[in-house]
């Protein structure tokens, strides 16, 4: 069986849903960030697959994937800084117990 | 044929590693599983003939982001062992499965217009031309640089000891 665009898109969907499940259910804030990284990676897979199967000479999907990586790097830096700041104040990173701003 | 075999190996390893991120009890092992998933994604980029992106994936994700995550895990060591779930397990599972079903149905029911040409292979020079040329993405590149700078400064300010 030859590998087509659908294979990559289905794989990307599977990884995205695994990351979504983890981001919704986990209580450790670091694990939530890891699951968000997983989701961003799956989106990158589908962007690159579209780029190389539909517009193979334009590379626009790969350019988008690079910008997604930039934003992911910025997000993880700020997110982990926030987690460390919360840990310093509360000595806890359980998302259930971080409810200072909950209305 | 070799490409198909490579794809299936990468796909299975990526999904198993992603499941490991969720189901492994030890947070540190979950982070290592995430690193394995990043590496297989880089392999998938190679099967898609996106060589530059594969290198960037290894450099940025496997090299930098995983180190940041592991550092954060080590600095929040005393919290709790294991990665417990909250009470939303069943609704989240239903949401994830329904979304997966919708996405797989949409992807397989759609007839994509596959281009006849084979993709460009080394992609570094065309990507650079695309990113930095006059009619390319030079403004988003500058904005991305500003975003990274602001994020680094913000991270330093937030994480600094008072």
Region A46-57 average pLDDT: 91
Region B12-34 average pLDDT: 93
Residue A89 confidence (pLDDT)? 85
> A3–B4: do the CB atoms touch at under 8 Å?
yes
Residue B34 confidence (pLDDT)? 95
Residue B88 confidence (pLDDT)? 84
Distance, CA of B75 to chain centre = 23
Among A14-18, A66-70, B129-133, the minimum mean pLDDT is found in B129-133
Domains and CATH numbers, chain A: 5-90 (1.10.287.3510)
pLDDT in tens, B70-128: 999 998 877 666 677 888 889 999 999 999 999 999 999 988 888 878 877 888 898 89
- The C-alpha atoms of residue B11 and residue B86 are separated, in whole angstroms, by 29
Two tokens at A91?
Answer: 């000595």
pLDDT in tens, B38-65: 999 999 999 998 999 999 999 999 999 9
CB of B72 within 8 Å of a chain A CB? The answer is: yes
Torsion of CA B13, B35, A14, B96, to 10 degrees: 140
- The C-alpha atoms of residue B86 and residue B83 are separated, in whole angstroms, by 10
The total number of residues shown for chain A amounts to 103
pLDDT band of A88, cuts 50, 70, 90: confident
Residue B81 confidence (pLDDT)? 65
pLDDT band of B9, cuts 50, 70, 90: very high
Residue B93 confidence (pLDDT)? 94
3-class secondary structure, B136: coil
Q: Name the residue of chain A whose CA is nearest to B17's CA.
A: A15
Task: Return the number of CB contacts < 8 Å for A and B.
Answer: 241
**Percentage, residues of chain A above pLDDT 70:** 99
Residue B133, min C-alpha distance to chain A (Å): 13
> A38–B72: do the CB atoms touch at under 8 Å?
no
Averaged pLDDT score across all residues of chain A: 90
Tell me which chain A residues have a C-beta less than 8 angstroms from the C-beta of B150. Answer: 74
Q: How many CB atoms lie within 10 A of CB A14?
A: 20
């Amino acid at each position: 069986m030859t590998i087509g665009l659908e294979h990559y898109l289905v794989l990307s969907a599977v990884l995205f849903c695994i990351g979504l499940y983890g981001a919704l259910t986990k209580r450790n804030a670091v694990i939530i960030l890891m699951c968000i990284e997983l989701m961003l990676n799956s989106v990158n897979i589908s962007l690159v697959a579209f780029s190389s199967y539909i517009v193979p000479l334009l590379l626009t999907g790969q350019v988008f994937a690079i910008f997604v990586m930039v934003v992911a790097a910025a997000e993880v830096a700020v997110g982990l800084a926030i987690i460390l700041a919360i840990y310093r104040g509360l000595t806890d990173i359980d998302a259930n117990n971080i409810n200072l701003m909950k209305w | 044929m070799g490409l198909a075999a490579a794809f299936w190996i990468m796909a299975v390893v990526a999904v198993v590693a992603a499941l490991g991120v969720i189901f492994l009890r030890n947070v540190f092992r979950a982070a290592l599983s995430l690193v394995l998933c990043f590496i297989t994604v880089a392999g998938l980029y190679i099967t898609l003939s996106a060589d530059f992106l594969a290198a960037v994936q290894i450099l940025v994700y496997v090299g930098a982001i995983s180190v940041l995550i592991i550092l954060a895990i080590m600095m929040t060591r005393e919290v709790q062992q294991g990665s417990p779930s909250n009470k939303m397990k069943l609704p989240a599972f239903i949401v994830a499965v329904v979304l997966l079903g919708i996405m797989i149905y949409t992807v397989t029911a759609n007839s994509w217009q596959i281009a006849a040409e084979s993709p460009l292979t080394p992609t570094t020079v065309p990507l650079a031309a695309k990113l930095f040329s006059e009619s390319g993405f030079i403004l988003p590149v500058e904005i991305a640089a500003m975003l990274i700078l602001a994020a680094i400064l913000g991270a330093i300010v937030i994480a600094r000891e008072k």
